[in-house]
Amino acid sequence: MYGMGILKTLSVTVGRFVTTYVDDLKWFFKGGFGKRYSPEALPVRQSPRGRGVFTVQYPNERLPLPENYRGFPFHVIDPETGKTRCTACGICTRACPPQCIWIVRATDPETGKAKREPEEFYIDVSICMSCGLCAEVCPFNAIKMNHDYEIATYGRDGGEFLWDLEHLSKSLAHHAAIHPTDYAEEKAEQERKAATKAKR
């Protein structure tokens, strides 16, 4: 009969409409009174098991970022030396697809020889494409990808996006907090190396 298809369509949309409210109501009482994404509700409502709408009221509500999330690069500061782990080897500058990394290698003022640390390190984040290749190829775990995605500024022609070493530096604790698995692997690796050294 003509029109049955339209009725079928409407049955789907009406079903969706009702489900949305039923789901809201269920979580209204079940997980955290009136909060859309209480700690119990979040992993269910934002997963394939979610039944209702997925809307998140940004910036009042935020979703947790997965550990692998790639924002912009940052330098990990070694707490023992207070300096970056970077040795100015330049592998990241060679890997960088838009060529937005500049490294000035430090020289020893007495001998005039190159030192294994950067004097300056710049990233132009206005052309950085967040590909994560620099972090991937860094042999010293010096560059990691940050989880900060709110980097808007009021201007762009005064060098706001040319981040220097100071701007790029973040503490080791920050790295450990946003990349727990990665950090655990790093530590295990370090311990393994220390163990083989002790054996010798």
CA–CA separation, 82 vs 3, rounded Å?
A: 73
Mask for 25-44, x = binds another protein (CB under 8 A): --------------------
Residue 116 binding another protein, by CB under 8 A: no
CA–CA separation, 138 vs 163, rounded Å?
A: 19
CA–CA separation, 95 vs 192, rounded Å?
A: 28
Between 137 and 194, name the residue whose CB sits nearer to another protein.
137
* Among 14, 18, 22, 104, contact with another protein (rule: CB under 8 A): 104
Distances (CA, A) of 34 to 8, 16, 25, 41: 33, 21, 9, 11
CB 86 within 8 A of CB 170: no
Number of residues located near another protein, criterion CB under 8 A: 57
Which residues touch 108 (CB under 8 Å, ≥6 apart)?
A: 114, 115
* Among 24, 85, 130, 167, contact with another protein (rule: CB under 8 A): 130
* Among 30, 35, 62, 94, contact with another protein (rule: CB under 8 A): 94
* Among 42, 77, 86, 88, contact with another protein (rule: CB under 8 A): 88
* Among 23, 31, 46, 174, contact with another protein (rule: CB under 8 A): 46
Between 64 and 194, name the residue whose CB sits nearer to another protein.
64
- CA 24, 27, 32, 38 dihedral sign is negative
Residues making contact with another protein (CB under 8 A) = 2-6, 8-9, 12-13, 16, 46-49, 53-54, 66-70, 88, 90-91, 93-97, 99-105, 114, 120-122, 124, 126-127, 129-133, 136-137, 145, 156-157, 159, 161-162, 181
